[in-house]
Amino acid sequence: MPGGGGGAAYASATISVTPGQTLYYFVGAGGAAFTNGRDSWLNAAANAQPGSPSLGILAKCGTAGTANGSGSGGRASECVGSLCNSGGSAAEGGGGAGGPNGDGAGGGICSFTNWGGAGGGGANGGSQGNHSSSFSGATGGNGFSGVGGGVGGTSSSNGGAGNTGGGGGGGYGSSGSFSTGGPGGSDGSLGGGIGAGGGGGSGGRVDSGTPGLGGTGGLYGGGGGAAGYSGTTFNNGGTGGQGVIVLIYSAALPARVTAVGMAG
């Protein structure tokens, strides 16, 4: 049974800079179905991943789901930064991205014939995606603010989109009409409308027809939801949200830049 993608980790650090100095960075792409995304990083000294938070940040991406298993969230222990939080691991629902307020939450589970899809995990200290327990899709996990999970799919609507960092709702099960999982939402926690993304909801199980598509991971860093599954085949999982690098400049002497990043 296919699994969803893990959410990206978050990393931040404050570094000293000088006028005219070159900063090197790389923004990781989000993963596609069964394909890992890329790490995001910034380095004030060289065109390479930094080894110390005095030089920059490294935010680790989550891993993709496979045809028989779920992806893991990016690990804070493998990041570089003065503050690092892990992404949420997936089940069928995608994992939420880590953020400045906490780890991303894990995706929910869908394990029975013809049941609806599972909810995606909330971002940035949010809650786990809900498990499906009937034909209806499960609700996505809430974001850090305690709201935002997308509603589960029904016989007349696909899984709902998350908002404010909430995970997407799972698609409807038993029939292919409204079996698509909802996308994760962004919480704006990094400023300027940019924030951590919730995980995508998984597609509904349709064991006698075409199973549902997985929901996309929210911007930034949310893991994509797994495809729905039938007894013989599965559909496409959702893509993960890409990474982002945010710079907050302070002109106080010595001049400093706070670098904030999430992986793809």
Q: Is the pLDDT of residue 252 over 80?
A: no
Please, which pLDDT band fits residue 253 given cuts at 50, 70 and 90? low
| Token output for 191 | 């400023």
Q: Which residue carries 């002109």 as its tokens?
A: 251
One-letter identity of residue 111:
S
Per-residue pLDDT at 1: 78
**pTM exceeding 0.75:** yes
Percent residues over pLDDT 70 in the chain: 99
Residue 232 above 80 pLDDT?
A: no
Evaluate if residue 162 carries a pLDDT over 90.
Answer: yes
Q: Residue 111, by phi and psi: left (phi above 0), alpha (psi -120 to 50) or beta?
A: alpha
Quick one: tokens of 238?
């959702």
Cα gap 121→127, rounded to integer Å: 6
Rounded to the nearest integer, the mean pLDDT of the chain is: 94
Identity at 139, one-letter amino acid code: T
Mean pLDDT value across residues 218-227: 97
Indicate the length of the chain as a whole number.
264
- Element containing residue 249 per DSSP (H, E): strand 244-250
Torsion of CA 29, 122, 201, 132, to 10 degrees: 150
